[in-house]
Chains A and B, each alone.
Chain A
Amino acid sequence: MPFTPTPARPAPISQMGVIGWLRKNLFSNIPNTLLSLVALYVVWQVLSSVISWAFINADWVGSSRADCTSDGACWVFVSVRLNQFIYGFYPAEARWRPNLAFALLVGFLIWLAVPRIPYKKLGGILALTAFPVAAYFLLYGGAFGLPVVPTSRWGGLLLTIVLAVIGIVLAMPIGIALALGRRSNMPAVRLVCTIFIEFWRGVPLITILFMASVMLPLFFAEGVSIDRLIRALIGITLFQSAYMAEVVRGGLQALGKGQYEAADALGLSYWQKMNLIILPQALKIMIPGIVNTTISLWKDTSLVVIIGLLEVLGQVRQALADPNWLGFPAEGYIFAALTFWVFCFSMSRFSQYLERRLDTGHKN
């Protein structure tokens, strides 16, 4: 008789589906059932009061605090101040400029991230050359008939995005160079890179920002002053590149020795080996680490308040101090938290998507 494999049978119904899951995890015996019911009750109590405060009893429309009559949340505070939270003190008639810059940024991200859109190389080159120039003139002005908007008027979400995006984009290549340097065979290069990384990693960002604003000017000649935003960016970039370097080094070390040896045995030069074999694989391994440091930088940008730059959180706190709007800290902070969360969570999901897409099913 020829061999016929036994057909696979489905698992028992009680093991599967919602009912099966509930029975297995929440109601498996009497103590577990009691605990589950108590927990459900607590969750319901908390959720119902939060929902009634934030949605049911909340005031949504109006233009002053007099419109907040119910005892729920006063979202009027946020909606009245929304422009300030997003743009800081950027002039109202020029707000289309950051809007356009942001739209371009999103456009480039979509171009580079969605596999179906062709000309990725062109997109990458434009995103790193034309886009920064365009964004500079859009945001700062001073050419093409666009009036100058000094950086002291930038703020809110606009400032958060500027600081985080520029910080990450500049820190990436510096970080890669530092990581390669730290693993170099040349002792001098290795020493310099190690010292650089360990110095910047060992100092809190808030100290670096403080130094950038207080100490740095002491080294310049009288009358020479560097824009406060630039100083903050230099500090953030150096700080971030040290962290990035360690993420990159982790990725380089995670790759098997065999990949280096195979590239060597084929006669590839050091830079060919790095660019063609090692970095493409290492960067894939590094995605979670890179996104992790990016998210943490995104939130750390709120520290620039120490040198008088007001990003989202800074603007919220400033608005809370307005005598006409005293007494709405919860609304303000919830808005700030939600803003951060939306961006950070999107980045986290995007990184998971990237990991799945780049997975070729085999680790070295």
Chain B
Amino acid sequence: MTTNEKTEYNGPAIEIKGMNKWYGDFHVLKDINLEVARGERIVICGPSGSGKSTLIRCINRLEEHQEGDIIVDGMPLINDLKKINAIRKEVGMVFQHFNLFPHLTVLENCSLAPIWVKKMPKKEAEAIGMKFLERVKIPEQAHKYPGQLSGGQQQRVAIARSLCMSPRIMLFDEPTSALDPEMISEVLDVMVELAQEGMTMLCVTHEMGFAKKVADRVIFMDGGEIVEQNEPNEFFNNPQEERTRLFLSQILGH
């Protein structure tokens, strides 16, 4: 029902204007300005502690910013639980450590939010859950518990769980960093497919191959600032800033 009445807002997916954030006295994000177009795929990289995770966690209010404006899908992010939940319905998130609900089966993980947040009948929610589990290629695991799955499978379930809410924007917070090396590609494949279907994506990742393949724009952050951003070809072959060059040489050098 809610899907039909969803107003099709066609401005930028995300607008961030003059945003600042502090943890106590520590200035984590400094004067962030960022506009993400609908359907744009952005990869954010940078050394650890550069504020890249914090930035995308501000977009669905897992972290609160202190200054500036964030407008998600046309809705300003303000301190009002109703507004925040309206935004969270439109924004899916995939975490580094999957954060699946271990006491629920894979299918229950997927159908939970449609049932309780969208008030969808259980049958319908489970059908949607199965649809997305097929998309991430693990429908046969639907009735297992997350603890019985490999890391790569768990992360694919986490992606399916987010997609079940039919979000207009997906946030990925280092989705492959906690995976064993042989499982990274199965997760990246799913993300590439999603990108090719036109999902608006913000991806914090060190997978530069992924960035080269699907990103429309790569953003490099350091010390809480956006240091440089460019389309991938230019970004990797012709970085403008010294800090970017140093970072790229460190992660591409081996």
Measured CB to CB, the nearest residue on chain A to B88 is A267
Contact A268 B95 (CB under 8 A): no
Interchain Cβ contacts under 8 Å between A and B, 8 examples: A262-B95, A265-B60, A265-B62, A265-B91, A265-B92, A265-B95, A268-B117, A362-B102
Residue on B nearest A261 in the bound complex, by CB = B62
Q: Quick check: A267 and B148 within 8 Å, CB to CB?
A: no
Contact across chains for B62 and A272 when beta carbons are under 8 A apart = no
A217 to B122, CA, bound (A): 54
- Bound together, the chains give a CA A364 to CA B109 distance in angstroms of 13
A363 to B161, CA, bound (A): 19
The yes or no answer to B101 lying at the interface (CB within 8 A) is yes
A274 vs chain B, min Cβ distance (A): 12
Is A67 engaged at the interface, CB distance under 8 Å to the other chain? no
User: Which of B81, B101, B161 makes the CB contact (< 8 A) with A259?
Assistant: B101
Contacts of B113 in A (CB 8 A): 266-268
Residues of chain B within 8 A (CB-CB) of A364 are 99, 102
Task: Report A340-364 CB contacts with B as 1/0, cut-off 8 Å.
Answer: 0000000000000000000011111
With contacts A264-B88, A272-B116 known, is A360 near B99, CB below 8 A?
no
Closest B residue to A358 by beta carbon equals B103
Checking A267, A277, A363 against B117 with a beta-carbon cut-off of 8 angstroms, the contacting residue is A267
Could you tell me the distance between the alpha carbons of A264 and B99 in the complex, rounded to whole angstroms? 11
Interface 0/1 of B87-108, CB less than 8 Å to A: 0110111010101111100000
If A258-B95, A261-B95, A276-B112 touch, whether A267 touches B102 (CB-CB below 8 Å) is: no
Q: Give chain A's interface residue range (CB within 8 Å of chain B).
A: 20 to 34
Contacts of A268 in B (CB 8 A): 112-113, 116-117
A270 (CB) vs chain B CBs: closest residue: B81
Q: Specify which chain B residues have a CB less than 8 angstroms from the CB of A265 in the assembled complex.
A: 60, 62, 88, 91-93, 95, 162
Given A264-B62, A266-B113, A272-B116: A360 touches B147 (CB 8 Å cut-off): yes
B215 interface residue per 8 A CB criterion: no
Give A residues with C-beta under 8 Å from B.
Answer: 256, 258-259, 261-269, 272, 276-277, 280-281, 284, 360-364
B204 at the interface (CB under 8 A from A): no
Note all chain B residues with C-beta closer than 8 A to A259.
99, 101
Question: What residues on A are CB-neighbors of B196 within 8 Å?
Answer: none
Q: In the complex the two chains form, is A362's CB within 8 Å of B145's CB?
A: yes
Asked if residues B146 and A362 are in contact (CB atoms below 8 Å), the reply is yes
Assembled-state Cα–Cα distance A138/B100 (Å): 47
Chain A residues with CB below 8 A from B81, complex form: 269
Q: Is the CB of B103 within 8 A of A360?
A: yes
Q: Which one of A258, A262, A276 contacts B116 once the chains associate, using CB atoms below 8 Å?
A: A276
The reply to whether the CB of B177 lies closer than 8 angstroms to some CB of chain A is no
Question: What 17 additional pairs, Cβ within 8 angstroms, besides A262-B95, A362-B146?
Answer: A258-B97, A258-B99, A261-B95, A261-B99, A265-B62, A265-B95, A266-B113, A266-B117, A268-B112, A269-B85, A276-B116, A360-B103, A360-B145, A360-B146, A361-B147, A362-B145, A364-B99
Of chain B, the residue at the smallest CB distance from A281 is B103
- The tally of CB-CB contacts under 8 A between chains A and B is 73
A361-B148, A362-B146 known; A280-B117 Cβ under 8 A: no
By secondary structure, the A interface counts as: helix
CB distance from A69 to the nearest CB of B (A): 61
Give CA–CA (A360, B60) in the complex, Å: 30
What 6 pairs between A and B have smallest CB-CB spacing? A362-B147, A262-B99, A361-B147, A258-B99, A267-B88, A266-B113
* Nearest A-chain residue to B91, judged by Cβ: A265
Determine whether the beta carbon of B99 is less than 8 Å from that of A363: no
How many angstroms between the C-alpha atoms of A90 and B165 in the bound complex? 61
In the complex, chain A residues whose CB is within 8 Å of the CB of B95? 258, 261-262, 265
Given contacts A258-B97, A281-B103, A360-B102, contact A267 B145 (CB under 8 A): no
Question: Complex: how many Å from CA A276 to CA B116?
Answer: 10
Report yes or no: A284 in contact with B147, Cβ–Cβ below 8 A.
no
Residue on A with the closest CB to B89?
A: A267
Q: In the complex, are the beta carbons of B102 and A262 less than 8 A apart?
A: no
Task: Give Cα A361 to B102, complex, Å.
Answer: 8
Contact call A266/B112, Cβ cutoff below 8 A: yes
B116 proximity list for chain A (CB < 8 A): 268, 272, 276
Residues of B within 8 A of A363 (CB): 102
Query: Measured between alpha carbons, how far is A265 from B93 in the docked complex, in Å?
Result: 6
- B146 contacts which chain A residues (CB < 8 A)? 360, 362
* Interface members, chain B 110-128 (any A CB < 8 Å): 112-113, 116-117
A269 to B82, CA, bound (A): 9
A261: chain B residues at CB < 8 Å are 62, 95, 99
In the assembled complex, which residues on chain A have CB atoms less than 8 Å from the CB atom of B62? 261, 264-265
Residue of B nearest to A265 (CB): B93
Nearest-Cβ distance from residue A101 to partner chain B, whole angstroms: 34
Q: Are B85 and A262 in contact (CB under 8 A)?
A: no
